[in-house]
Structure 1
């Protein structure tokens, strides 16, 4: 995505907005992802998912669109951190 691509920033941010959903909605999303990858053994899934989520947390701002960043950044980071804790427990 080009730095001045406002439409691209908005589309990517809309796609990621589930990350900043209310905890119960995010948890349902995470459960659906696990179901989608049910063929992956649990230890491998947990390690892989935690690594992916960790990369999200380590990145800069999650949402390129400023409006969605303001609305979803903090809850998204909280959801991701909470899921990582659960995956690595």
Structure 2
């Protein structure tokens, strides 16, 4: 009997089921992950803009640029990735 290899000495390695998923499911999950990542970037840009406006962070013309960045991220990803359930 072979033992399961350890990762970082604490947790046993768990065989990935990713490759066992059908290509369509992998693609759907990947698109949802990208959509969520884009939304996270846009949210962080909005937060930074608000912090600059409030004077918490040094403002060098950044809030408008960050809001533009957030809008571009959202606009370019809105149509490109379908929303999937609650994954």
| TM bin (shorter chain) | 0.3 to 0.5
Q: Which has the higher helix share?
A: 1
The structure, 1 or 2, with the larger RCO (C-alpha pairs under 8 Å, 6+ apart) is 1
Q: Which has the higher strand share?
A: 2
The TM-score, its normalising length taken from structure 1, stands at: 0.38
Larger radius of gyration: 2
